[in-house]
């Protein structure tokens, strides 16, 4: 065998191996963003994908994720990252920022969103999706929620959910999809508002809450797709199309193109409430739907909030149909493109665990309540995260000393180590599992009759705390370890005076109390490091060495 033959054989073998690698399917695991990551909007620019979500009254607002493969997502920033841009003081946690949408045109990234109750609809821009993003520019003519932009050549449009015609609804939940032409340079609407969809796909059936609209142009058609049915178990995605961007839009005869509402509720490991989708081209050239759904642990109870999912889309006779091979959404899908993992990216799907430390800067996924007060905390390698005790509490509408992370699994644990010495019973510091101002459990260190204690409180309808149990500490300790275990419809609470020498403080505490079904609203649970002086002035502080998290959901085993 001569050198040329040997080289050719080597090339054949090399190309074959490359082809095998490239053809190796990727497994997409749902949800692709676990935990409270609702209302996803996704964008493809070249070979890069960017995804954003609602954050309501948490700060920073609107996380920005980057991916190369629709599976591995890394948070690269937040759209609302400066208190000078916006804060949510006075807002209940389930208000604030609703349903952002991201787009790109001629080198500029755009995010549109609704600041519900105070301000309305706005747009921000950036040359880099990682930020910094501009200050918001409000668009008063756009009255409603869920704005999104559509660029069509040299024209741009803004469409959104709005009131019934003439503000005269025919039934509860009667809404419209409306649109203006939009000037992206001036950040202003142009011309007159037009109604594109009245009520929904078939107004004779009284459809409710047509919302979260997007337009996709394909093969000479303008596809207008939107959520319908409300964001709970009747949620769905519907599609209409027209040869003109202004309509009239004709509905697909087999709507909805995505829903789980017709499936038996007692099925194993159900995925429910699917809708609020956006379509995107995958690395393989196929279409995929990125959408919100939930994973209830029982009936319609879930504590992890609305999460971000993915499913393939098939075009059938000119119409997009999500999850074409199975009415029931799956926890895994195979796709024929290469997986691209990102450096230093924390996993977001399946079971995973990690430890957050506080040496130099806060992880971008960590959350404050309503705004960031940089004077209320500090970071150091020696002490970790030090929180100043503030008079504000989590039961009010201000900015207490609270920094948290999302509960991302139905079964999981969160743990921290606390250095703290209370000077009165008003001073408390510890680990909280927080749904909203009235629905939380707080495991904390304090004093009772001048003796150190560990206490477990629950929030209540009166915006106060109810003591569930307390145990004395033999003496003040240098560090107190705290752990909360989520087990579906129950939570267990532990403390330790030595690492891993856990003492069960309370077992089987009602988790349904923290569910969206009980609390209402649109958010999910957050594990938080929280310290307060309960309305009293103080100069005391508390330090947290780390925050460790571990997910253990059975559907991934």
Q: Check residue 475 and give its pLDDT.
A: 78
pLDDT, tens digit (0-9, with 9 covering 90-100), for 354-395: 999 999 899 999 999 999 999 999 999 999 999 999 999 999
Q: What is the pTM of this model?
A: 0.95
Q: Average pLDDT of the chain? A: 95
CATH topology of domain 353-556: Jelly Rolls (2.60.120)
Q: How far apart are the C-alpha atoms of 430 and 482, rounded to whole Å?
A: 7
Fold assignment, 27-335: Tachylectin-2; Chain A (2.115.10)
**What φ, ψ does residue 229 adopt, rounded to 5°?**
100, 0
Q: CB neighbours (10 Å) of residue 152?
A: 11
pLDDT exceeds 90 at position 22:
no
Per DSSP, the residues of 295-324 read: --SBTTB-SS-SEEEEEEEEEETTEEEEST
Q: Which of 486, 534, 474 is nearest to 510 (CA)?
A: 486
> How far apart are the C-alpha atoms of 553 and 551, rounded to whole Å?
6
Number of Cβ within a 10 Å radius of residue 463: 13
- What is the model's pLDDT at position 476? 75
Helix H or strand E encompassing 5: helix 3-23
| Residue 8 pLDDT class (50, 70, 90 cuts) | very low
Cβ 105 vs Cβ 94: under 8 Å: no
Task: Say if residue 10's pLDDT is above 50.
Answer: no
What number is the average pLDDT over the span 32-37? 98
Q: Can you spell out the DSSP letters for 111-146?
A: EEEEETTTTEEEEEEESSTTSPPPPPEE-TT--SEE
Non-local (6+) Cβ contacts of 322 within 8 A are: 237, 257, 258, 277, 289, 291, 311, 312, 313
What six digits make up the tokens of 140?
A: 């008063």
Task: Clarify whether 553 is annotated catalytic.
Answer: no
Domain ranges of the chain: 27-335, 353-556
Q: pLDDT > 70: what percent of the chain? A: 96
Write the CA distances from 461 to 89, 418, 458, 489, integer angstroms. 21, 29, 10, 20
- What is the arithmetic mean of pLDDT over 125-141? 98
| 510 labelled catalytic | no
Q: Which of 103, 211, 307, 427 is catalytic?
A: 211
As beta bridge partners, residue 488 has none
Map tokens 């090339």 to a residue.
Answer: 11
Residues 538-550 have pLDDT tens digits of: 999 999 999 999 9
Q: What is the pLDDT of residues 503-537, one digit of tens each?
A: 999 999 999 999 999 999 999 999 999 999 999 99
Question: Would you give the DSSP letter of residue 346?
Answer: P
């Amino acid at each position: 065998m001569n050198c040329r033959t040997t080289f050719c054989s080597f090339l054949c073998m090399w190309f074959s191996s490359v082809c095998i690698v490239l053809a190796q399917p990727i497994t997409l695991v749902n949800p692709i963003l676990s935990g409270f990551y609702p209302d996803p909007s996704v964008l493809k620019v070249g070979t890069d994908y960017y995804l954003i979500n609602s954050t309501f009254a948490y700060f920073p607002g609107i996380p920005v994720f980057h991916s190369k493969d629709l599976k591995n997502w890394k948070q690269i920033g937040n759209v609302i990252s400066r208190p000078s841009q916006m804060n949510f003081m006075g807002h209940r946690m389930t208000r604030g920022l609703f349903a952002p949408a991201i787009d790109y045109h001629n080198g500029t990234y755009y995010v549109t969103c609704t600041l519900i109750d105070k301000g309305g609809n706005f747009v921000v821009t950036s040359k880099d999706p990682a930020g910094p993003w501009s200050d918001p520019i409000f668009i008063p003519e756009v009255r409603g929620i869920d704005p999104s932009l559509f660029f069509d050549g040299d024209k741009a449009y803004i469409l959104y959910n709005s009131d019934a015609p003439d503000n005269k609804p025919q039934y509860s939940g009667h809404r419209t999809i409306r649109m203006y032409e939009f000037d992206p340079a001036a950040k202003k609407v142009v011309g007159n508002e037009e109604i594109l969809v009245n009520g929904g796909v078939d107004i004779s059936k009284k459809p409710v809450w047509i919302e979260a609209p997007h337009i996709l142009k394909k093969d000479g058609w303008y596809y207008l797709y939107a959520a319908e049915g409300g964001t709970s178990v009747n949620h769905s995605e519907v599609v209409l199309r027209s040869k003109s961007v202004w309509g009239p839009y004709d509905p697909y005869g087999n709507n909805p193109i995505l829903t789980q509402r017709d499936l038996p509720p007692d099925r194993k490991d159900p995925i429910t409430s699917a809708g609020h989708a956006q379509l995107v081209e995958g690395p393989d050239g196929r279409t995929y739907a990125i959408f919100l759904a939930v994973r209830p642990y029982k009936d319609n109870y879930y504590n992890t909030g609305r999460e971000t999912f993915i499913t393939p889309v098939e075009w059938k006779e000119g119409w997009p149909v999500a999850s074409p091979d199975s009415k029931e959404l799956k926890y895994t899908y195979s796709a024929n493109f290469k997986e691209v993992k990102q450096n230093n990216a924390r996993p977001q799907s399946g079971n995973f665990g990690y430890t957050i430390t506080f040496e130099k800067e806060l992880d971008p996924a960590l959350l404050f309540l309503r705004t960031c007060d940089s004077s209320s905390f500090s970071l150091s390698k020696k002490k970790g995260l030090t929180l100043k005790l503030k008079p504000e509490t989590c039961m009010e509408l201000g900015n207490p000393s609270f920094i948290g992370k999302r509960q991302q699994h139905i079964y999981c644990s969160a743990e921290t180590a606390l250095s703290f010495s209370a000077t009165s019973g008003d001073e408390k510091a510890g680990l909280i599992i927080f749904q909203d101002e009235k629905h939380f459990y707080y495991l904390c260190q304090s004093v009772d009759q001048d003796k150190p204690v560990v206490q477990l409180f629950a929030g209540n309808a009166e915006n106060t705390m109810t003591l569930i149990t307390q145990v004395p500490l033999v003496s003040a300790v240098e560090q107190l370890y705290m752990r909360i275990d989520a087990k579906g419809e129950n939570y267990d609470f532990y403390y330790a005076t030595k690492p891993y020498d856990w003492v069960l403080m309370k077992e089987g505490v009602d988790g349904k109390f923290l569910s969206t079904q009980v609390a209402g609203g649109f958010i999910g649970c957050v594990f938080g490091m929280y310290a307060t002086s309960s309305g009293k002035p103080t100069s005391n502080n508390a330090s947290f060495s780390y925050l460790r998290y571990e997910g253990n959901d059975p559907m991934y085993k």
